[in-house]
Amino acid sequence: LINILKDEAPGVRGSAATALAALGDRGAVEPLINALKDEAPDVRSSAATALGFLGDQRAIEPILALIDDAESWPRSAAANALARLGGGEALVGLIRLCNDSDARVRGTALRASLSVLNTQMSAQFMKTLRDDPDGINRTIAIEGLGLLGKPEAVDPVLKRLEDTDAGARGEAARTLVRLLPHVGEEKRKAIVSKLVGFWLQSRNNDAANAVYYAIREMPLELAEAAHDAYDAEAHHNLLPRKLLRWNEMRREISLRAYSRREMGQLREREREYHGHAWGIAPMRGGEGLTLMKTVLEIDLVGYSSLAAVLDETLGPESVAKLNQRIQDVIGDGLAAVGLARESTVMATTGDGAILVFEKAEDAHRFAEHMHRMTREYNSTKTEASTRLYFRIGAATGNITMQPRQGGGYDIAGITIARAVRLEAAARPGELLVDTLTYEALPPVLHPAYEEEESVRGKRDESFAARRSVMNRDVPQHLLTKPAPPLGDASGDRHAILNLFEQLIPKDQLDLLVFLLDVPITHHPSKMLSLFDRQTHLLNYMTTVPDGLQKLESELQYLINKQKHS
């Protein structure tokens, strides 16, 4: 290998230097020092890198000569090597490279210097923060100051919450959280207040997300102090996506606090903060409690045909058993992601359910598990007709929740209708989500989704949405089945009653109520018979402008939806 350092091809010489470093033989130090003078810049770079890995102090002085190299690559390699070799001379050279004329060399030197933190580097980080025009380099300097934990860094870093570079602003937020233990109580409160104020005002997603996670990771007492810095009026005026993120953060902080307090004390504190029960963040609304939630509808593909065959051949009891089996599977899916059916399933639809989640991430994980579970189930079936596939849609937004006598909640809101429309537009094996749900997901889940598209709702409706294909074993003929067109709605009561009879399953009153956005106070009582509930809804819709036409249109939509599946 040492002889190959003299090969006529620069690429071969560079590879030889790298291989010598991998061998770890100190006998290669002198030949590698000679290679620092090679005419090819990439060979000089490889030699410097190799010497850094070998860790022999004899290499420091020759590598320092690369600080004035005409090419940037060898200078960057010198920075990394000097950081590895350490020592006073190496540090002096590293600081010189932190002030190189090339921004990339400065960045490499700054990044390398994070491994040799000391007082001298603190001064250099401050200088970079003040003078370097490159946002990436300022970001690295901020990180270094946070790792050093110097209280005097707080004020310069606070100013960087207004940096022109989003990365620097985000790193400033994270660093301020790291510096909190190193400052007094009053300073801590000022930092927390500044972080919350920045988060409320920021319109850059990357910077705002960094602040969001920084606040979440604060020690409990400081995270709670963030609530004191949070203006209630600003809370109501937030964009929906930002309000959703804030509510998620509040819930996590509350759960951390729960381990320290009795439930009653925690509820009392939450009421003091926001005037409502623990774990729920209100927005302005009408009846009940208006909340920001992620609503999901799940639907079994081909249910209507399967139910019709079972009813005809084995009787209605077999359909009831099928319905129960579907609900058991949904319950298993919720249990697998650590959620209780009682607090998540708001309504059942025979072949599926309407579920409400605190977090968009929980909805994604549930959908992912359901599709994986059916894929595993289908792998054991040789007959195609016995395989199961689900369609799932999810939307995020305001819904109204009101406790129901006997337990559970009544819910209302157009977000539920949007989730139903998205489920209908989803293909088997998919989760189809609206934009707000996608933006509420952790960034690590975003690659699971396709590009944004416009999907059709009912008639001229359309939604911006993204698909996540979670089961790729779905037969092609199920993926390409066209949706049938909707007919005209006359609003004739007799026609509406006939449409009720065509529903499979018959009892889809909950879905109709959601699609029509009927106020909770006018929901048909579940204590009534199916016919009486249908009559109640029919009578209510006569009081709504064009109500009967809307009811007929939604009935047509549900019937076409079951045909489409």
Cis, bond preceding 505 (omega within 30 deg of 0): yes
- Within 10 angstroms of residue 488's Cβ, the number of other Cβ atoms is 8
Residue 529: pLDDT over 90: no
The predicted structure's pLDDT at residue 68: 92
In the predicted model, is pLDDT for residue 317 greater than 90? no
**Whether the predicted pLDDT of 296 surpasses 50:** yes
pLDDT band at residue 265 under the 50/70/90 scheme: very low
Which is more confident, 249 or 550?
550
- For the chain, the farthest-separated pair of C-alpha atoms sits apart, in whole angstroms, at 98
Hey, is 305 helix, strand or coil?
Answer: helix
Show the tokens assigned to 278. Answer: 């623990």
pLDDT at 258: 42
Whether residue 332 has pLDDT greater than 50: yes
Residue 424 has pLDDT above 80, yes or no: yes
Average the pLDDT over 117-146 and give the result. 89
* Residue 270 banded pLDDT, cuts 50, 70, 90: very low
Q: Is 264 a residue whose pLDDT tops 50? A: no
Q: Which of 36-40, 211-215, 302-306, 485-489 has the highest mean pLDDT?
A: 36-40
Per-residue pLDDT tens digits for 161-184: 888 887 888 888 888 877 877 888
Lowest-confidence segment of 43-57, 471-485, 536-550 by average pLDDT: 471-485
Q: Which two tokens stand for residue 356?
A: 């409400």
At 311 the pLDDT is 65
Of how many residues is the chain composed? 565
Q: Select the more confidently predicted residue: 298 or 261.
A: 298
Is residue 444 predicted with pLDDT exceeding 60? yes
State how far the alpha carbon of 47 is from the alpha carbons of 2, 62, 233, 518, in Å. Answer: 12, 11, 61, 74
Token pair listed for 54: 């070998």
Q: What is the pLDDT of residues 336-395, one digit of tens each?
A: 778 888 778 888 877 788 999 988 999 999 999 999 888 888 888 777 767 888 999 999
Q: What is the rounded (10 degree) CA torsion for 472, 478, 481, 483? A: -80
Work out the pLDDT band at 134, boundaries 50, 70, 90. Answer: very high
Query: What integer is the mean pLDDT of 307-311?
Result: 67
Q: Of 111 and 459, which is predicted with more confidence?
A: 111
List, for residues 185-209, the tens digit of each pLDDT value. Answer: 778 778 877 777 776 666 555 555 6
Instruction: Give the model confidence (pLDDT) of 457-514 as tens digits.
Output: 655 567 789 999 998 888 877 765 545 455 566 677 777 777 777 776 666 777 777 7
Q: Give the model's pLDDT for residue 285.
A: 37
Sign, CA torsion 200/201/203/208: negative
Q: What is the pLDDT of residue 284?
A: 36
Residue 70 banded pLDDT, cuts 50, 70, 90: very high
| Crossing angle for the helix pair 135-148 and 119-131, to the nearest 10 degrees | 150
Position 502 scores a pLDDT of: 75
| Residues 386-423 pLDDT 10s | 788 899 999 998 888 776 655 566 778 888 888 988 98
d(CA 320, CA 343) in angstroms, rounded, equals 23
Q: State residue 234's pLDDT score.
A: 46
**Average pLDDT for 16-28:** 79
CA triplet 148, 151, 152: central angle to 5 degrees?
Answer: 100
Domains and CATH numbers, the chain: 1-116 (1.25.10.10), 289-483 (3.30.70.1230)
Q: Whole-model pTM?
A: 0.48
Among the ranges given (240-249, 295-304, 493-502), the one the predictor scored with the smallest mean pLDDT? 240-249
In this predicted structure, the answer to whether residue 257 has a pLDDT above a threshold of 50 is no
Helices 205-216, 240-258: axis angle to 10 degrees equals 10
Of 8-12, 191-195, 275-279, 299-303, the one with minimum mean pLDDT is 275-279
Inter-residue contact 257 to 224 (CB < 8 Å): yes
- Reference 166, options 214, 127, 208; nearest CA is 208
Percentage of the residues of the chain whose pLDDT score is greater than 70: 75
The structure tokens listed for 417 are: 């209708």
Look at residue 183 in the predicted model and tell me its pLDDT.
82
Task: State mean pLDDT over 530-535.
Answer: 78
Q: Helices (DSSP H) in 86-231: which residue ranges?
A: 88-97, 103-113, 119-131, 135-148, 154-159, 166-179, 185-201, 205-216, 220-228
Q: Does pLDDT of 236 surpass 50? A: no
Decide if pLDDT at 324 tops 60.
yes
| pLDDT category of residue 235 using cuts at 50, 70 and 90 | very low
Stretch 424-453: mean pLDDT: 90
pLDDT averaged over every residue in the chain: 77
